[in-house]
């Protein structure tokens, strides 16, 4: 196996042995942002830039931070029409900016392991590398389903709006390809009145389900119906995002619902409504067994100018400090002890690992701590995570790994980085005498795949 950005040589000794034992286990991907259409239609991926640069906010944010205009990188909308080869050249020319970042590991892995590119990326090799990738992408072995099989993916969950018809999922499920691609119910635009299209989304969910969304009860029924629809197509989980952690149980949600539908609610009331709906969702999870995910603390679209010209997810989502303890108290107070309820928490505020999440997950039966998320899904981020959660939460209150990516080709790279991190962590525990090698051998596959299967109720 080739040296990936130099990273192979470290895993010797105990770490190397632990890594070898889990390196080739199946990939369980319970949370991510791949397009279901890729697997339904199985078309060739377009050019290298459109595959590797344009959609990867880790990549273009870094180039933007060093003065490269987003237009020049082909980022839509304003950048639409940029020449993919020029985009790729710009990327190659700035490749040094990624030294020390996980993007460099992921992309190096994709280039060398998945695409078989051997030349080191640079301004000089940009065109040759571009051509080589373009050739590969035209081959049948590089179509989505073939890659999915080659990657050894056991199950891949996408993330889908509550109004989605899941047509692509149905195609995959009903076809003869054996790949397991399942949806995840992400209803925030129909739960949170601060979303632009909230009102029309509520109308739409009423029409879709035939429920009368004129009343709060009908609205809840419509949500229940959509959850059942997702579950029937294989979903095992829901997903929610929240900036400032706040849940609240309203005495009279019906009244506020009417006010919101009439457009006369305040910002604070809108926030409270979403806080209430998170508890309703938790209660529905108790009923239907869908695992609830909560991604907290990302402040979205902080660069208004970039947002207006290029839209969402353009690298200007920045973490803020959060308070899981007081924020979740109303939710946990209602359903935290309910048998069968499961809630997976994702934080961007690493100070909450040891202070809040580990103590909470070490007590509440429903809680699992999600893996290091986003900026923290990195070698040092993984090390800090283990250092700060394990002593209080143990291993069985963790949710294993998520790649959380929209970069399909990077999935094996991301799981590989995690598995290396697991092997390193466990070998250090053995060295420190926290437990012995036999324990480490048992824990390695648990962390690599079994906890994720278990946390997301994905066991085949």
Taking the complex as a whole, how short is the minimal distance between the CB of residue 207 and its own copies, in angstroms?
38
Taking the complex as a whole, how short is the minimal distance between the CB of residue 125 and its own copies, in angstroms?
16
Choice between 90 and 155, CB closer to its own copies: 90
> Quick one: tokens of 323?
């308070």
Taking the complex as a whole, how short is the minimal distance between the CB of residue 430 and its own copies, in angstroms?
7
418: Cβ contacts below 8 Å, ≥ 6 apart: 371, 377, 382, 401, 448
Taking the complex as a whole, how short is the minimal distance between the CB of residue 91 and its own copies, in angstroms?
14
> Quick one: tokens of 218?
């009908």
Taking the complex as a whole, how short is the minimal distance between the CB of residue 424 and its own copies, in angstroms?
9
What does the alpha-carbon distance between residue 274 and residue 268 come to, in Å, rounded to a whole number?
10
Choice between 161 and 359, CB closer to its own copies: 359
Choice between 177 and 375, CB closer to its own copies: 375
Taking the complex as a whole, how short is the minimal distance between the CB of residue 316 and its own copies, in angstroms?
5
Taking the complex as a whole, how short is the minimal distance between the CB of residue 98 and its own copies, in angstroms?
6
Peptide bond into 77 cis (omega under 30): yes
29 in helix, strand or coil?
strand
Choice between 39 and 105, CB closer to its own copies: 105
What does the alpha-carbon distance between residue 386 and residue 395 come to, in Å, rounded to a whole number?
9
Choice between 112 and 209, CB closer to its own copies: 112
Give helix 84-93 / helix 126-138 axis angle, nearest 10°. Answer: 130
What does the alpha-carbon distance between residue 247 and residue 113 come to, in Å, rounded to a whole number?
44
Choice between 260 and 446, CB closer to its own copies: 446
> Which one, of 394, 397, 386, 401, lies nearest residue 364 by Cα?
397
State the Cα angle at 350 between 346 and 354, rounded to 5°. Answer: 95
What does the alpha-carbon distance between residue 3 and residue 325 come to, in Å, rounded to a whole number?
43
Choice between 135 and 387, CB closer to its own copies: 387
State the Cα angle at 403 between 92 and 52, rounded to 5°. Answer: 20
């Amino acid at each position: 196996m080739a040296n990936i950005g130099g990273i192979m040589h470290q895993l010797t000794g105990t770490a190397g042995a632990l890594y070898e034992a889990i390196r080739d286990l199946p990939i369980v991907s319970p949370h991510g942002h791949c397009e279901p259409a890729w697997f339904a239609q199985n078309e060739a991926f377009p050019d290298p830039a459109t595959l590797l640069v344009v959609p990867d906010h880790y990549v273009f944010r870094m180039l933007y931070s060093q003065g490269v205009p987003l237009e020049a990188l082909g980022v839509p909308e304003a950048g639409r029409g940029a020449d993919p080869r020029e985009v790729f050249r710009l990327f190659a020319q700035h490749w040094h900016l990624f030294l020390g970042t996980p993007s460099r590991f992921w992309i190096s892995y994709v280039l060398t392991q998945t695409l078989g590119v051997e030349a080191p990326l640079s301004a000089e090799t940009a065109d040759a590398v571009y051509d080589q990738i373009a050739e590969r992408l035209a081959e049948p072995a590089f179509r989505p389903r073939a890659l999915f099989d080659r990657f050894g993916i056991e199950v891949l969950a996408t993330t889908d709006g509550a109004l989605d018809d899941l047509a692509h999922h149905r195609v995959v499920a009903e076809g003869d390809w054996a790949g397991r691609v399942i949806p995840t119910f992400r209803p925030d635009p129909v739960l949170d009145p601060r979303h632009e299209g909230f009102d029309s989304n509520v109308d739409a969910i009423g029409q879709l389900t035939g429920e009368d969304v004129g009343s709060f009860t009908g609205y809840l029924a419509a949500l229940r119906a959509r959850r059942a629809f997702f579950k029937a197509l294989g979903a095992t989980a829901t997903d929610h995002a929240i900036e400032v952690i706040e849940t609240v149980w309203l005495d009279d949600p019906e009244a506020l619902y009417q006010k919101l539908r009439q457009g006369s609610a305040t910002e604070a009331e809108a926030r409270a409504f979403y806080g209430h709906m998170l508890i309703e969702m938790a209660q529905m999870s108790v009923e239907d067994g869908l695992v609830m995910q909560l991604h907290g603390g990302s402040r979205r679209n902080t660069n208004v100018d970039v947002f207006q010209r290029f839209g969402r997810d353009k690298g200007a989502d920045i973490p803020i400090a959060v308070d899981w303890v007081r924020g979740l108290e109303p939710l946990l107070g209602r359903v935290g002890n309910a048998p069968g309820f499961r809630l997976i928490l994702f934080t961007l505020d690493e100070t909450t690992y040891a202070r809040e999440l580990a103590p909470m997950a070490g007590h509440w039966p429903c809680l699992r701590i999600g893996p290091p998320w986003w900026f923290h899904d990195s070698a040092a981020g993984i090390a800090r995570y283990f250092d700060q959660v394990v002593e209080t939460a143990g291993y069985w209150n963790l949710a294993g790994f998520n790649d959380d990516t929209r970069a399909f080709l990077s999935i094996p790279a991301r799981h590989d980085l995690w598995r290396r991190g697991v092997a390193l962590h466990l070998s250090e525990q053995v060295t420190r005498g926290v437990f012995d090698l036999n324990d480490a051998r048992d824990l390695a596959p648990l962390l690599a795949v079994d906890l994720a299967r278990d946390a997301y109720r994905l066991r085949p």
